[in-house]
């Protein structure tokens, strides 16, 4: 089966793997993965482990298609923002992607649509690829509001983006009820949501750009359920939490994506 675009398999380490453990995990992942010429891999460590991951990747042969991402940043150039990290600081460390609006940031840290929109625009302006996360709660789905919720998050998050910039975007659909719960959404349900996201992107940016934007799924994706998800037409990869913390499970997902591309 041949997909219309390269899969992106991204690992979100969240607040796990300190810099002393990062090298071992990265080397282990790269060793287990081997050559996967048809898949882009992204690792998003905590800030303090970024340099170690960067150094490990530079010393590994064949790690060219493993990219480095961050889990957050603050959308200002510099200044009195105690505790924050700027996009330029991340770029300096070789970071290419940044996760924006993860449900944990929205709920635990009160990040609202206005701030997330500012982050998306700022990331694009500084050559960081934004991975904008959207997702509904169990309650919202139970009330049949999931499509409306996701559309609302997307419209606010993507406000003011020009069509020429939009093709650099990555969207991650992460239903809140599936994150870290072992409860994976069934492939047909995810595909349906991804299609409605694609349709909204089409309205916003036109068909060509919409077709080129990667839409990832996140929420308890594992080696044993990723194949049926990745086979769906509008699922262009995964944003993986728990299973990205173990080299074997993360490498298995990457290898499955590579096989599906052949």
**Active site members:** 102, 174
What is the closest distance, in whole angstroms, from the C-beta atom of residue 241 to ligand 13P in the complex?
2
Candidates 70, 185, 221, 256; binder of ligand 13P (CB under 6 A) is: 221
- C-alpha 66/C-alpha 8 separation (Å) is 10
Q: What kind and span of H or E run contains 94?
A: none
- C-alpha 241/C-alpha 222 separation (Å) is 9
- Residue 237's contacts (CB-CB under 8 Å, 6 or more residues apart) are 7, 8, 9, 10, 40, 214, 216, 217, 230, 257
Residues binding ligand 13P: number (CB under 6 A) = 14
Tally the residues of the chain. Answer: 262
Among residues 241, 124, 118, the alpha carbon closest in space to that of 183 is found at 241
Per-residue interface string for the shown chain with ligand 13P, residues 169-188, x marking contact by CB under 6 A: -----x----xx--------
- 13 or 122, CB closer to ligand 13P? 13
**Helices 19-33 + 247-260 axis angle, to 10:** 40
Candidates 46, 75, 101, 242; binder of ligand 13P (CB under 6 A) is: 242
Q: If binding is defined by CB under 6 A, does position 241 make contact with ligand 13P?
A: yes
Q: If binding is defined by CB under 6 A, does position 72 make contact with ligand 13P?
A: no
Q: If binding is defined by CB under 6 A, does position 223 make contact with ligand 13P?
A: no
Q: If binding is defined by CB under 6 A, does position 12 make contact with ligand 13P?
A: yes
- 75 or 241, CB closer to ligand 13P? 241
User: Which residues bind to ligand 13P, rule: CB under 6 A?
Assistant: 12, 102, 174, 179-180, 218-221, 239-243
């Amino acid at each position: 089966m041949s997909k219309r675009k390269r899969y992106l398999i991204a690992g979100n380490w969240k607040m796990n793997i300190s810099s002393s453990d990062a090298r071992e995990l990265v080397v282990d992942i790269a060793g287990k993965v081997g050559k996967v010429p048809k898949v882009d891999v992204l690792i998003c460590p905590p800030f303090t482990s970024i340099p170690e991951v960067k150094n490990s990747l530079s010393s590994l042969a064949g790690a060219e298609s493993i990219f480095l991402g961050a889990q957050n940043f603050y959308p200002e150039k510099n200044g009195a923002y105690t505790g924050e990290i700027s996009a330029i600081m991340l770029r300096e460390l070789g970071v290419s992607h940044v996760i924006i609006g993860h449900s944990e940031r929205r709920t635990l840290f009160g990040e609202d649509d206005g701030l997330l929109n500012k982050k998306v625009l700022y990331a694009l302006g500084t050559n960081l690829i934004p991975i904008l996360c959207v997702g509904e709660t169990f309650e919202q789905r139970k009330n049949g509001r999931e499509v409306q919720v996701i559309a609302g998050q997307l419209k606010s998050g993507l406000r003011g983006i020009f069509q020429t910039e939009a093709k650099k975007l990555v969207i991650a659909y992460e239903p809140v009820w599936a994150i870290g719960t072992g409860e994976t959404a069934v492939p047909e349900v995810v595909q349906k949501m991804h299609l409605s996201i694609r349709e909204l992107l089409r309205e916003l940016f036109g068909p060509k750009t919409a077709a080129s934007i990667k839409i990832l799924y996140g929420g308890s994706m594992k080696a044993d359920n990723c194949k049926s998800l990745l086979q769906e037409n509008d699922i262009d990869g995964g944003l993986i939490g728990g299973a990205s913390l173990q080299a074997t499970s993360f490498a298995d997902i990457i290898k499955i994506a590579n096989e599906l591309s052949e």
